Copies of this chain bind each other. A is one copy, B any other.
Amino acid sequence: MNAPVSLAAIVERHAADVEARLVAALASDSVLDVASRYHLATGGKRLRALLPIWLGTNLGGDPEAAIPLGLGIELLHNATLVHDDLQDGDRTRRGEPTVWTVWGDAQAINVGNHLFFVGVDHLARSGADAAFLSRAARVMIDVVGGQALEFQLQLPADHRDHVGATVAGWERMARGKTAALFALCAEAGALSAGADPGERARAAAFGSDVGLLFQLQDDLLDLVGDKGRGETATDIAEGKISYPVAWAKENAGEAARMRLMAIIRTPREVTSRAMVEEALGILRDVGAIDAAARRIGDMWRELRESRYDALLPGLVERVLEPVRHALPA
C-alpha cells in the first residue's frame, strides 16, 4: 500500500455524491423522509459512508462497489443518532432542534426505525451476500448493546441492572456503541475490493481500533473542546461514564471519587454549571484528562503496528486533528 489515497482525497472526490445519494434515498414527502432529511441537514462528516470508500480504494477496489455499503452504514448510524437524542434528552444537535423536539417522541422512534430499514435495504441491494448482511446485523446488535450498557454504567450500585463504571466497562461499551460500526465500515471497504476473509478480518480489527480512538477523542473533546452544542462537558451533566470519568473512578482518591460520582449521578435538570466545572476540575486534578490523552497515544502506537499504517496520516488530517497533540510521532 504505497502512495495511499488520502481520506482528504476521498472526501474531495465523493462527499458531494454521497450527500446527494443520502438525500435521494429519503426523497418522498412522507413525514418520515421529511424528518430524516431534516436530521441529515443538521450536518455530520459522513465518516461511515466515506471510510468504506477510502479503505476499498486503497485495497484496489472500485469506489462504486463501496458506495452503497457506505450509504447503508451511514443510514444505520444516523438512525442511532435520532434515537440517541431522544434517549439522552438532547434538545439540540449542532445548534438545531433535534427530531424529537420537532416531531415528538413517538415519531422520533419511527424516524430512527425508518432510517434503520432504509439502511438495511441499501446493504441488501449493494451486491453484498447474505453472510455480510448477517455480519451487519450482528454489528448492529453490538451497537445497540453498547448503548444499553452506556445506561447501565450510569446506574447506582444497588440497581438490578448496574454494571460497574470501570475502564473495562467503558471499553466494552465503546467497542459496541462506536467501534463496531467503524469495524463494519472497514470490513465493507475490504469486501468491496474483493478482499479474502483474512484481509476482511484485519480491516475490521483496524476499524474497531480507529473507532475506539474516535470515542476517546469524543470523550476528551466533550470535556475540553467544543462538540458544537454550545457548551462543554454535556456528558457530565447527562451523567455519562466517559473514559476520563471511568479512569478517575478507578484511580482517584476516595474523596475526589465520591464527589465526582455524586455530581455525575445528579439528575441533569438539577446539575448546575458550577457543579460541572467542579467535576472538570476534579478530572484535571486527579490526572484523568492526561490519562485519556495517554490512552489515545497508546491506541495510536497500536495502529502504527497494523497493516494499514500508511493510511494513518490521512486519518489524522480528517478525523483526529483535534487530538493531534496527543499522538506520538
Contacts and interface: CB of A to CB of B under 8 A. Distances in A.
Interface of A: 30-32, 83, 86-88, 103-107, 109-110, 112-114, 116-118, 120-121, 124-125, 127-131, 133-134, 137-138, 140-141, 144-145, 147-148, 151-152, 161
Give chain A's interface secondary structure class.
Answer: helix
B110 A144 contact: yes
Given A145-B32, A145-B114, A137 B109 contact: no
Nearest to A110: B148
Given A103-B161, A116-B113, A30 B133 contact: no
B114 A87 contact: no
Given A145-B30, A161-B31, A113 B83 contact: yes
Contacts of A106: 87-88, 151
A104 to B, nearest CB: 8
A30 B148 contact: yes
20 contacts: A30-B145, A30-B148, A31-B148, A32-B144, A87-B105, A88-B106, A105-B105, A109-B112, A110-B144, A114-B148, A117-B137, A117-B138, A117-B140, A117-B144, A118-B137, A120-B137, A121-B134, A121-B137, A125-B130, A125-B134
